[in-house]
Structure 1
Amino acid sequence: MAKTPPRELTRAKLLDQGVAFLTEYGYHGSGLQDILASVQVPKGSFYYYFASKEEFGAAVIGHYIEPFILLLDGYLQRPELSGAEALDGYFQELIAELERRQFKGGCLIGNLSGEIGDTSELCRQALKTALGRYRDKLAEGIARGQAQGRFRTDLPAAAMADFLADAWQGALLRMKIEQSVQPLRDCCRHLLQGYFRPAEDRPTTHP
């Protein structure tokens, strides 16, 4: 088995720390010196890996979203789960992890979208690409659920995936304010077990 070159290992460590620092302190609150010191990389060596902090931020965004896509894909690859069950299992795992972390961090994509989404074109494109990849993976699960009769079919899977991703981001902000994962649970319940279901399968509500 081939070993990962040292340069790639160091780059990966920088990106890991970039995710940690930018999630906790934001883009502008994260100093390169602190990130470099955390992985014992001399400041002058940073530019061997990235041309600028902006390029580093864009790379961190792509690095951040990858585990979420892999986790969701892992649920979708399980043949015993329907598309609806795969999505629910995925989000329940995220909720459990956020509760374990005591509601800290939220979503780096959402955080950076608000902080630098309209000030850095390079990072904006990275955010757009990351969100697009994530939306497409959600849509894959929704389309499967539609084919299995578990989700409504009068709306395109991509549009429903956009709605789910947007609602989840809003619920993450509410989570921070309320210091509770209840907004996340409500988001999944109202969409995956409610609005996304065929009309005849939706829970009966009363005024």
Structure 2
Amino acid sequence: MPVTTRTQDTRRVILDTAQRIMAHKGYSAVGINEVLAEAGVPKGSFYHYFASKDAFGEAILKSYFADYLTDMDRVLAHSGQSAAERLMTYWHQWRETQSLDECQGKCLAVKLGAEVADLSEAMRLALKEGTSAVVDRIERTITEGLEDGSLSVDGEAREVAQALYDMWLGASVMAKIHRSLAPLDTVTAVTRGLLHL
């Protein structure tokens, strides 16, 4: 195996392991040694893959959003469904991932957002870029729904997309606080109302 491929594979294992652990514990509570031990990577090699813990945190978020957006694109591109149906499938999937053992690595924006935004400008910007890309996709699907007649909104598609994403993030935090899916059920109903479904 070429050295470059092995390096990329090891880097990916470290990022995937960190994402899984941090989804449960947060960023600050997880040490680099814990991640490396879980990943089976020698302790001394961390700085071969990442310049600092902040660079590591930024890489985790970028990797998370790359995977998340790929999955989101798959859901929203499903042929044979109206834009409204695809968008509601996305929200349903969101609800389901929030209900799995504290989301098992599926919700780093929820888990780490408030924690790391003040710790590192690089991580804040990675979060901003990733969440903006999510809102872009929601906006695009709303626009498609306006065109295919499967939904309607009061106001601009971008504003509604941002409001929906903000509501779902907030509901996800409240679901964690209350250990209940009720906030997500409420926001599902509000979403249907905002999209006139």
Partner of 2:35: 35
Question: CA distance change for structure 1 residues 66 and 84 in 2, over 3 Å: closer, same or farther?
Answer: same
Displacement, 1:152? 2.5
Paired residue secondary structure (2:118)? coil
Displacement, 1:97? 3.1
- Letter matched to residue 115 of structure 2: E
Question: CA distance change for structure 1 residues 12 and 133 in 2, over 3 Å: closer, same or farther?
Answer: same
Question: CA distance change for structure 1 residues 104 and 181 in 2, over 3 Å: closer, same or farther?
Answer: farther
Q: How far apart, in 1, do the equivalents of 2:73 and 2:177 lie? A: 30
Q: Check conservation: 1:145, 1:151, Cα contact below 8 A.
A: yes
Aligned residues: 195
Question: CA distance change for structure 1 residues 34 and 99 in 2, over 3 Å: closer, same or farther?
Answer: same
Q: How far apart, in 2, do the equivalents of 1:34 and 1:40 lie? A: 10
Q: How far apart, in 1, do the equivalents of 2:171 and 2:106 lie? A: 10
Equivalences for residues 46-85 of structure 1 within 5 A: 46-85=46-85
Partner of 1:183: 183
- Letter matched to residue 195 of structure 2: F
Displacement, 1:33? 0.1
User: What are structure 1's unaligned runs of at least 5 residues?
Assistant: 202-207
Q: TM-score, normalising length from structure 1?
A: 0.86
Partner of 1:150: 150
Equivalences for residues 87-102 of structure 1 within 5 A: 87-101=87-101
Q: Check conservation: 1:106, 1:176, Cα contact below 8 A.
A: no
Displacement, 1:10? 0.7
Displacement, 1:122? 0.9
Q: Could you tell me the percent identity over the aligned residues? A: 32
Q: How far apart, in 2, do the equivalents of 1:38 and 1:103 lie? A: 19
User: What are structure 2's unaligned runs of at least 5 residues?
Assistant: none
Partner of 2:194: 195
Question: CA distance change for structure 1 residues 45 and 21 in 2, over 3 Å: closer, same or farther?
Answer: same
Deviations 1:56-85 (A, max 9, x none): 101101111223212221122222111111
